[in-house]
Chains A and B, each alone.
Chain A
Amino acid sequence: MGRKIFIVEDEPVVAMCLEDILLDFGCSIIGPVGRLSEGLVIAEAVEADAAILDVNLGGERSDAIASVLRARGIPYILATGYGATANTGEHIVPLVSKPYCEEQLRSALESVIAL
């Protein structure tokens, strides 16, 4: 089995789409999780090779989850509908814009883990 990817995405259809693409890449999926509180709990314990975080979770930012992942040394990429304007804080993290496009997603993931 390939890499384990933790997905945080609040839009089910989009999450499904993301799942399909990742499955095509040969990855296995943890999640998807759509709510911040739930995401935080899982992030504390999840055994994942990498994570894909939607920045905006139903009006809340997912920054807290990013902090946990960062603390646990789990690499992650951010997904946003804001285009290039999303605030990534002082950390340089790969950013993909929705809707997902296979090529963009692959290169973003490959910059943090080997697929």
Chain B
Amino acid sequence: MMAEPIENADSTAPSDIPNGGDEFRMIAESAPVAVWVTGLDGKRSFVNRVYAEFLGVDQESARDFNWRSILHPDDSARIIAEAQAGKAALKPFTLEGRYRRADGEWRWLKSTLQPRRDGDGNPAGFFGVAHDVTETKLAELALREREAQLLVFVNQGTAGFSQVDISGRFTMVNDRFCEISGWPREELLGRSMQSITHPNDLGRNIPLFERMMRDGTPYSHEKRYVRPDGTLVWVNNSVALIRDDEGKPLGSSCVTLDVTRRREDEAALRKSEESIRLAVESAGMATWELDLDTMEGVWSLNRFDLLGLPRRADGRGSINDWLALIHPDDVEQVRETAYACFDRGTPFMIEYRILRADTGEERWLQSHGDRIMAGDENDLRFVAVSFDITERKRNEEELRTSETRFRTIFEEANDYIITADLDTRITSVNPSVVAALGYPEDALVGRSISEFLAPGQMEVVERLRDHKLEHGGTTRFSVRMRTHAAGGDLIWEINSRLTLDALGRPTGIHAIARDVTESKRFEMHQRLLIDELNHRVKNTLAIVQGIAQQTFRNPGIAMEARKAFEGRIAALSEAHNLLTRELWAPVPIHQVMADAIAPHCGGDRCHIEGCDLTLEPKTAISLALAIHELATNAVKHGALSNEAGRISITWQKTEDEKGKRLKLAWVESDGPPVSVPKRRGFGTRMIERGLAAELGGSVCIEFAAGGLRCEVDAPLPETAE
């Protein structure tokens, strides 16, 4: 505070002022600040009450108080030096520093010392006033400290910080801003923010800046700075207006973040989104979105293709573009579903038909749609993907048709259809099976087939199952089924094959059976009838034979005649045996020949050879009787009457102008010399007439010298075809 006390030795005018001026003294005495007066010698001639109170002494003592003793050590040397200098200069000066008050507290005092002059204008000493500025000083110090801290923050922060004036010229930048922008501080401070902003971004930047200058609206935006080397940096700037004390715009302050990396990440993300979009679209999925305010939005290009619409340059389409193409029968359903999604957010998956805009072709589409919140709840959008499922639909339709077809066959067939697993456990039966066996379906399915077979039949089923497993293919067999229904056992003829999985591995057995009970019964009945017929025919022949035998026993009747007769009856009987074996069906010619010749010709003396032919029973009997006659004759007179003779019976099918023919030849050789009989006997005539008549052809017997020949030329018997 107080300047060096000024000696109050001078009693002239200056000293008179305090002493003589009561008015001044009163003012000084009552001032709220410390006031004192010194002479040229520095001694204090006056101190006021405040001055004394600070020191804690009376005013008298205060005049002589050594103020140097209460100076703060940090301020002491400086203040003493300044005081001496000020005193010597005889000019006004101020001192500022800490003094210890009487209560021991350090107080900041600011002293102002004013030279004073006597009436002659000569220097007379100083007039001093000391303010207690402790509070101000502390506030200032605190502010300075905060500023220092702020500066550290500003300079070392991750954010760039800058200030510009109202024209955009940089007035302050921190280190980080220099780093981000790439410009050195000294360069920046001579430039405007506009000069380092990418020209393409100024279009957005300047209006924002100008508006802020106008009405104070802060803004935040992203833009690019161009660095000295020409490279770009993306920044996010938050900009606020700075005003002066009167509220007038002074410029702006800006916090800058480097967002290049984020922009790159976003670009990468967009790229990956693009890849996803491409993948989705190349998978045949068309994407679209709808702004629910305008009911139109962006369509993927393939969505236009999907609907048969021309691709639009702006890639946009509306809800009505879509609905207009939906099949009339489907459109209401689709509209309802879509609007439920638009209005209430119900996601959907629908299948519907469209009529293509270009060709009018009907196609099936599947669409998935959902409502999403893009930003806040006021920004609702609808997004969807659609794709063509016509092929699938058609396949399904075909499958359904075919399924229905097979289901119908399965359900309605009179045939019995049974599926079983490989262990012959029944897995399904059709209604016919249920009806035929008289068990309910659930008593059949899951049970072994063996439970429904007559004894001994399961072995057959298992053997054929194993055969199928080994060789594949279909097996056909008859089994006797046990039924729960009236009428007893049934005989089923079963065709079965394995069911295979996609890899060709057997999974079970599929069997279709037909009831052959009736036909088996009929067959058996017919068999009995034929047997009975045969029995009667043979018995009749036996009776005829017996009668003949008894008749021929009379003396005078040649034994030879009896033998001939018996032979003919026997031949007839043998032919019947063959017919009996074949159940009166057409019989093979080879068998007819072999059976007819067998009683007469053993070993290899007979050669029988010809093509496969079957003969009607009647033809077969005629032929058998003819062969019997030829053979009997051969035994009596021809090739079989010696040890060396041989017989060859051959036939073949030929074709000439008269059509298809059978040619048969009986040729004897190595027999005794042949003599032409004087009279044609019964045998010869029977062959030449009977057989010729039966066959409708010609039969020629030639008594050739080398051996008898019999040649038959007849139209090919019908069954031979």
Contact = CB atoms under 8 A, between A and B. Distances in A.
**7 closest pairs, A vs B, by CB?**
A81-B538, A17-B546, A83-B577, A13-B546, A99-B542, A99-B545, A98-B542
Nearest to B573: A99
B570 interface: yes
Nearest to A9: B542
A31 to B, nearest CB: 15
24 contacts: A11-B542, A13-B550, A14-B545, A16-B546, A17-B545, A17-B550, A20-B550, A80-B538, A81-B539, A82-B531, A82-B538, A82-B580, A84-B577, A97-B538, A97-B573, A97-B577, A98-B542, A98-B573, A99-B538, A99-B542, A99-B544, A99-B545, A99-B566, A103-B599
A20 B549 contact: yes
Interface of A: 11, 13-18, 20-21, 56, 80-85, 97-103
Contacts of A82: 531, 534-535, 538, 580
Given A97-B538, A98-B573, A85 B580 contact: yes
B549 A81 contact: no
B408 to A, nearest CB: 45
Given A97-B577, A100-B542, A101-B570, A81 B537 contact: yes
A85 B534 CA distance: 10
Contacts of A97: 538, 573, 577
Contacts of B535: 56, 80-82
Nearest to B527: A85
B547 interface: yes
B686 interface: no
A15 B549 CA distance: 11
Contact of B553 (A14, A20, A99, A100): A20
B592 to A, nearest CB: 14
Interface string B506-546: 00000000000000000000000001001111110111111
Contacts of B549: 16-17, 20-21
A83 B580 CA distance: 7
B577 to A, nearest CB: 4
B530 to A, nearest CB: 9
A83 B570 contact: no
Contact of A16 (B537, B550, B576): B550
Interface residues of B, number: 26
B339 to A, nearest CB: 86
Main secondary structure of the interface of B (DSSP, over half): helix
Given A11-B543, A99-B541, A99-B569, 12 more contacts: A11-B546, A13-B543, A17-B549, A17-B550, A81-B534, A81-B536, A81-B537, A81-B538, A82-B538, A97-B573, A98-B541, A99-B570
Among B537, B542, B549, B570, residue most surrounded by chain A Cβ atoms (within 10 Å): B542
Given A17-B545, A99-B569, A83 B538 contact: yes
A97 B534 CA distance: 11
A20 B552 CA distance: 12
B581 A83 contact: yes
Contacts of A17: 542, 545-546, 549-550
A98 B538 contact: yes
Nearest to B566: A101
A54 to B, nearest CB: 9
A101 B541 CA distance: 11
Interface in B204-250: none
Contacts of A81: 534-539, 542
A81 B536 CA distance: 7
A97 to B, nearest CB: 6
A85 B546 contact: no
Contacts of B573: 97-99
A13 B569 CA distance: 15
A83 B549 CA distance: 21
B539 A11 contact: yes
A56 B542 CA distance: 14
A83 B546 contact: no
Contacts of A16: 546, 549-550
Given A14-B539, A17-B545, A101-B570, A83 B550 contact: no
Contacts of B569: 99
B578 to A, nearest CB: 8
B533 to A, nearest CB: 10
A83 B539 contact: no
